[in-house]
């Protein structure tokens, strides 16, 4: 039940910013500073989402997630498709876990 | 379906098949959404797989894609759920991350002023980074792309790919053995990295903003719970970031 409340809440807060302009587009102009701030948010969010979370991919062994992140970064840097980035990163984590933990 | 014979069939029977212009505009939009579909489908599959591997149900994954329809936020929600974040933290973080769509919607609706409000209400739900970018670029080439039915076709194509991809991924997850599933949580971070790195390649300053945000998050995560740490780091780092790009 709690999970479905989260979906409803998320649906509300994602739809509202998309819907509101339909009604107010004629009446408002955002300051330039706010505009720039909003533009930066996705990049900042990604940074905070990746670190430190990625280091806890394997409980107590931060190196595992770190290696996975390095592999993903290299794959993404060479513009591999997102599917290969995810796949290679998961594979590297599996290999590292197999070698060092088992 | 046999694609080659299908297209030949269409060539022999041109647009007369669609007597209404709206219908053909809609189909033109659907066709244009193809590159976005190619991009969305695998990401949606990943979302379905990761959500189920994280221990949540297929209906949870499906309903989230159906009603929330916001790629990065959906991955973030699963991530935060795994960190035991509170529901309200997830919702606020989603709001912060997606408020940028307000800007995109403002820009798009500004160009659709002449169309009836009732038709713009469902369209606005399907605005995403990619569909907005596509429509903004298309505009410079061709004004006729600001047709309500064309845009409708484009947006519905992308949305369908997202929802059906989630279902496909959820079903796929059910046949993946748990030994592999244990490493799937890395997939979430790989997805974030795959979104971030190309943006940094294009504009290195974005890397500074992301790095600053990560550093802040590492510093404060010991003192407050991880959900709030992400929201606060994002707001502070992006605020500084807005000064960084002012010179351009």
Question: What pLDDT is attached to residue B135?
Answer: 81
Question: What pLDDT is attached to residue B48?
Answer: 94
Q: What's the rounded mean pLDDT across residues A78-95?
A: 89
CB contact under 8 A, B95 and A36: no
With 90 as the cut, is the pLDDT of residue A70 above it? yes
With 60 as the cut, is the pLDDT of residue A56 above it? yes
Question: What pLDDT is attached to residue B222?
Answer: 87
Question: Percentage of chain A surpassing pLDDT 90?
Answer: 52
Residues found in chain B: 248
pLDDT category at B179 given cuts 50, 70, 90 is low
CB contact under 8 A, B64 and A10: yes
Residue A34's H or E segment, with its range, is helix A32-50
CB contact under 8 A, A90 and B184: yes
CB contact under 8 A, B101 and A72: no
Q: Residues near B124 by Cβ (< 8 Å), separated by ≥ 6? A: A15, A18, A19, A21, A22, B105, B109
With 90 as the cut, is the pLDDT of residue B91 above it? yes
With 80 as the cut, is the pLDDT of residue B28 above it? yes
- B108 to chain A, any CB pair closer than 8 A? The answer is yes
Short-list B69, B68, B66, B72, CA closest to B50 = B72
Q: Count the alpha carbons within 13 Å of B146 in the hemisphere toward its beta carbon.
A: 16
Residue B25's H or E segment, with its range, is helix B21-32
Question: What pLDDT is attached to residue B248?
Answer: 47
CB contact under 8 A, A14 and B90: no
Question: What pLDDT is attached to residue B13?
Answer: 37
Other beta carbons within 10 angstroms of residue B4's beta carbon come to 7
Question: What pLDDT is attached to residue B140?
Answer: 46
Instruction: Show residues of chain A in contact with B209, CB under 8 Å.
Output: 40, 43-44, 47
| Alpha-helix residue ranges (DSSP H) falling in B68-184 | 71-82, 87-98, 100-111, 117-125, 129-141, 148-173, 178-181
Instruction: Show residues of chain A in contact with B193, CB under 8 Å.
Output: 50, 69, 72-73, 76, 85, 89
- B60 to chain A, any CB pair closer than 8 A? The answer is yes
**Which site among B86, B87, B97, B190 would you substitute to test the A interface, given the most A Cβ atoms closer than 10 Å to its Cβ?**
B190
Q: What's the rounded mean pLDDT across residues B137-163?
A: 80
Question: Percentage of chain B surpassing pLDDT 90?
Answer: 42
Q: What's the rounded mean pLDDT across residues B23-42?
A: 87
Using the structure block, give the residue that is written with the tokens 């997630």: A65
- Rounded to an integer, what distance in angstroms lies between the CA atom of residue B159 and that of residue B61? 15
Q: What's the rounded mean pLDDT across residues B50-54?
A: 91
Question: What pLDDT is attached to residue B19?
Answer: 45
Residue B233's H or E segment, with its range, is helix B226-244
With 90 as the cut, is the pLDDT of residue B16 above it? no
In tens, the pLDDT along B102-121 reads: 878 887 887 787 888 999 99
Q: What's the rounded mean pLDDT across residues B202-209?
A: 92
Question: What pLDDT is attached to residue B2?
Answer: 41
User: Mean pLDDT highest for which of A54-68, A71-85, A87-101, B154-168?
Assistant: B154-168
Question: What pLDDT is attached to residue B181?
Answer: 66
Mean pLDDT of chain B: 83
Quote the pTM value.
Answer: 0.74
Mean pLDDT of chain A: 89
With 90 as the cut, is the pLDDT of residue B9 above it? no
- Rounded to an integer, what distance in angstroms lies between the CA atom of residue A86 and that of residue B194? 8
Q: Is the ipTM beyond the 0.90 threshold? A: no
Size of the A and B interface in Cβ pairs below 8 Å: 271
- Rounded to an integer, what distance in angstroms lies between the CA atom of residue B159 and that of residue B166? 11
CB contact under 8 A, A45 and B68: no
Question: What pLDDT is attached to residue B14?
Answer: 36
Q: Which residue has the higher pLDDT, A93 or B32?
A: A93
Q: Which residue has the higher pLDDT, B9 or B195?
A: B195
Contact B49, B184 (CB under 8 A): yes
Instruction: Show residues of chain B in contact with A33, CB under 8 Å.
Output: 242
Residues 113-172 of B with CB under 8 A from A: 113, 117, 120-121, 124-125, 127, 129
Question: What pLDDT is attached to residue B7?
Answer: 41
In tens, the pLDDT along B129-145 reads: 888 878 876 644 456 66
């Amino acid at each position: 039940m709690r999970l479905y409340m989260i979906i409803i809440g998320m649906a509300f807060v994602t739809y509202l910013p998309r819907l509101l302009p339909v009604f107010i587009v004629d009446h408002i102009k955002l300051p330039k500073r706010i505009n720039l701030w909003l533009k930066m948010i996705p990049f900042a969010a990604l940074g905070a989402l990746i670190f430190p979370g990625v280091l806890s991919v394997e409980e107590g062994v931060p190196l595992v997630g770190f290696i996975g992140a390095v592999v993903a970064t290299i794959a993404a840097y060479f513009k591999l498709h997102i599917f290969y980035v995810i796949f290679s990163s998961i594979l590297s984590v599996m290999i590292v876990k197999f070698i060092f933990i088992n | 379906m046999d694609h080659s014979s299908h297209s030949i069939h269409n060539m022999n029977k041109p647009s007369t098949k669609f007597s209404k212009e709206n219908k053909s505009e809609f189909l033109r939009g659907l066709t244009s959404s193809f590159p976005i579909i190619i991009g969305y489908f695998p990401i949606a599959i990943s979302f379905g797989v990761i959500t189920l591997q994280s221990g949540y149900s297929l209906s949870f994954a499906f309903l989230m894609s159906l009603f929330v329809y916001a790629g990065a936020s959906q991955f973030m929600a699963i991530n935060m759920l795994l960190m035991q974040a509170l529901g309200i933290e997830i919702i606020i973080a989603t709001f912060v991350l997606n408020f940028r769509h307000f800007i995109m919607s403002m820009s798009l609706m500004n160009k659709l002023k002449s169309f009836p409000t009732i038709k713009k209400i469902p369209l606005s739900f399907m605005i995403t980074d990619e569909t907005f970018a596509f429509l903004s670029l298309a505009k410079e080439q061709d004004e006729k792309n600001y047709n309500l039915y064309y845009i409708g076709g484009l947006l519905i194509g992308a949305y369908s790919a997202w929802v059906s991809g989630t279902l496909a991924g959820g079903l796929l997850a059910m046949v993946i053995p748990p030994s592999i599933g244990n490493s799937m949580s890395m997939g979430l971070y790989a997805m974030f990295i795959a979104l971030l790195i190309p943006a940094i390649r294009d504009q290195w300053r974005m890397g500074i903003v992301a790095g600053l945000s990560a550093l802040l998050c590492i510093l404060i995560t010991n003192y407050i719970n991880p959900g709030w740490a992400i929201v606060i780091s994002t707001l502070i780092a992006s605020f500084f970031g807005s000064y960084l790009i002012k010179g351009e």
